[in-house]
Structure 1
Amino acid sequence: MSFRRRENLKPSDKLLVLVGSKNPVKVACTEDAFTRAFNRPILVEGINVSSGVPDQPIGERETLLGAKNRAYQSRDVFPEANYWVGIEGGIDEDEKGMFAFAWMFILGQNGKTTQAKTGTFYLPKKVSELVSQGMELGKADDLIFEQENSKQQGGSVGLLTQGVVNRDEYYRQAIILALIPFLNPDLF
């Protein structure tokens, strides 16, 4: 059984996807990921909802919870969509230093949920120090790299890779990975 038949959608029907954020990077990467994954028309809208976690989530659990909260709150606001997506970036530390990552959480119309995480990358000491003092990562990046609103552009990953990997690309892959169970419903 194919996904389209399972959802009773014709290939010409647009899928409506809500992102629990109006951040243009999160909306754009979600649209691109869903378009690539389903190869059909997609309408993606961002809405402002609370993550329910601090502005700078710390650790796996808190970051994933923020992504889940965004997806579920998006569904509460607009239950007519086909999918609801929560994206939350977080930080954590190990013996090598502070590192960044993000969780993607997708809720489907049928109640199925999936999730995937981006790769991780370490942050420079100056940025880590500011974040450790309570500053949100995007603001710390703006201060250290003399940028403005970098989190709605290339983000930390874009700044640190000198644009080789931007935030859109970084998130897109994880969204597609989170879609695997929806692309293979007979296997999951």
Structure 2
Amino acid sequence: MNKKIVVASRNPVKINAALSGMNKILPNVKFQVQGVDVSSGVADQPMSTKETWEGAFNRATNARNLEVNADYWVGMEGGIDTDADGKMFAFAWMCIIDKEDRLGKAQTGIFYLPPKVQKLVEGGVELGYANDKVFNEVGSKQKGGAVGSLTLGALGRTEYYEQAMILAMVQIVNPLLYPNE
């Protein structure tokens, strides 16, 4: 059985995370994946959990509107927020819509950003560029991302997103437990 996934990004990290996650949760399905450029409808650097979720949902919805012939539309949005102590942390939301209008959503784990990165982000610099500057990297968000830099390569951005991708599919692969509302 062949199924098509449309990922609302051309970033190889997001495309690979979507495909890898889908292969793990549905190992007997062969997938074709396509990345498309669509708007998130939120700031380039979402600054709250709510705004980040809206970006993921908007991306999945916009991908569906652009490429109607697919089985799954995936929106991924990385964001940052601050805790009660003002410390900044990073995370991402995954949104999956299937052709039966079921919605799956999940969030990655969080990790705290170093003060140097936080200061740059507070100054208006997108996390990927702040990470590049602090860690003397180029294009890190197309590779391991901040999570890769901070974990010394033990966890890359693809693997980080992959787990949340699998968790977002929970609602879709268990339709009797999560009725379509």
TM-score for the superposition, normalised by structure 2? 0.95
Letter in 1 for 2:48: G
Query: 1:96 deviation in Å?
Result: 5.5
Identity value in percent: 47
Q: Residue 150 of structure 1 corresponds to which residue in structure 2? A: 140
Once the two structures are superposed, the pairs formed by residues 1-188 of structure 1 within 5 Å of their partners are 13-39=1-27, 40-94=29-83, 95=85, 97-188=87-178
Gaps in structure 1 of 5+ consecutive residues: 1-12
* Offset, 1:93: 0.7
Distance 1:153 1:67 in 2: 20
Q: CA deviation at 1:141?
A: 0.4
Q: SS in structure 1 opposite 2:105?
A: strand
Structure 2 residue runs of 5 or longer lacking an equivalent are: none
Segments of 4+ moved more than 2 angstroms:
none
Partner SS, residue 134 of structure 1: coil
Offset from partner CA, 1:116-146 (integer Å, 9 cap, x none): 0000000000000000000000000001101
What letter corresponds to residue 20 of structure 2 in structure 1?
Answer: D
Q: For residues 94-125 of structure 1, what are the alpha-carbon distances to aligned partners after superposition, in whole Å with 9 as ceiling and x for unaligned?
A: 11610000000011101111100000000000
Q: Which structure has the larger Rg? A: 1
Counterpart residue identity of residue 71, structure 1: A
Which residue identity does 2:61 align to in structure 1?
A: Y
Note the aligned Cα RMSD (angstroms): 0.8
User: 2:103, 2:172 within 8 Å by CA — same for their partners in 1?
Assistant: no
